Amino acid sequence: NAGVTQTPKFQVLKTGQSMTLQCAQDMNHEYMSWYRQDPGMGLRLIHYSVGAGITDQGEVPNGYNVSRSTTEDFPLRLLSAAPSQTSVYFCASSFRQGANAEAFFGQGTRLTVV
Amino acid sequence: AQSVTQLDSHVSVSEGTPVLLRCNYSSSYSPSLFWYVQHPNKGLQLLLKYTSAATLVKGINGFEAEFKKSETSFHLTKPSAHMSDAAEYFCVVSSVDRGSTLGRLYFGRGTQLTVWP
């Protein structure tokens, strides 16, 4: 039972570099989302998707892009990394978009931008 | 609009004593509320959820929470702490607004629980 899989687990980038954080789920969930976790801030929503081909912005979308070409995958792209993007990133999925829907989280990607 | 306030950033208890993690919420409508736990260097795991059924909700590992609409609270409790309960706990409200924000999760800032032997 893989659930939500994120890769890589750790990454160090130089300022200005770009990269893609991968997220895949095998539960056939429609709803997927990306969060960043910073100390004392809880988790903040970056982008989300309610199905293949449909994405929208969350609270803190600047500097990030997403796409959803398949139900399973929801990659997060950092266009030009900045030190302010140093954070732990979590991908989550749920069966549907709904107030009662339980979110399943990946193990996280710890990103450091130097 | 929805928001969540976790009243304590850190809670320390001795093993075998009760745990109380406090959470207040703000929501335009009857909310859906969750508690998630995050162990060090791990993802988040659902402890329990309230979805307008019974106001006392039982979760995994002996945790429970009571929804009190009059106090806009959803405090998490456990009668007897165990060393393995040491983790960060997040109170979460889910948006019930119609449209694209339906189901969006709003996180509290977290409460770090320390359990002393």
Give me the tens of pLDDT residue by residue for chain A, a chain 114 residues long. 679 999 999 999 999 999 999 999 999 998 999 999 998 888 999 999 988 999 999 999 999 999 999 999 999 999 999 999 999 999 999 887 676 788 999 999 999 999
Task: Give the one of B36, B44, B95 whose C-beta lies nearest to A99's C-beta.
Answer: B95
Rounded to an integer, what distance in angstroms lies between the CA atom of residue A38 and that of residue B25?
Answer: 21
- Whether A58 and chain B come into contact, CB under 8 Å, resolves to yes
Q: List the 27-66 stretch of B: residues with Cβ below 8 A of A.
A: 31-32, 34, 36, 41-46, 49, 51
**pLDDT above 90 (res B57):** yes
pLDDT tens for each residue of B46-56: 999 998 778 89
Lowest-pLDDT range, A3-12, B5-14, B93-102? B93-102
CB-based burial of residue A14 (10 Å sphere; 0-12 exposed, 13-18 middle, 19+ buried)?
Answer: exposed
pLDDT above 90 for B7: yes
Answer yes or no: is pLDDT of B93 > 70: yes
Task: Give yes or no for a contact between B16 and B117, defined as CB atoms under 8 angstroms apart.
Answer: no
With a CB cutoff of 8 Å and minimum separation 6, the contacts of B98 are none
Of B31, B44, B100, the CB nearest to A90: B44
CA distance A39 to A51: 30
pLDDT of residue B105: 86
Instruction: Indicate yes or no: CB of B41 within 8 angstroms of CB of A40.
Output: no
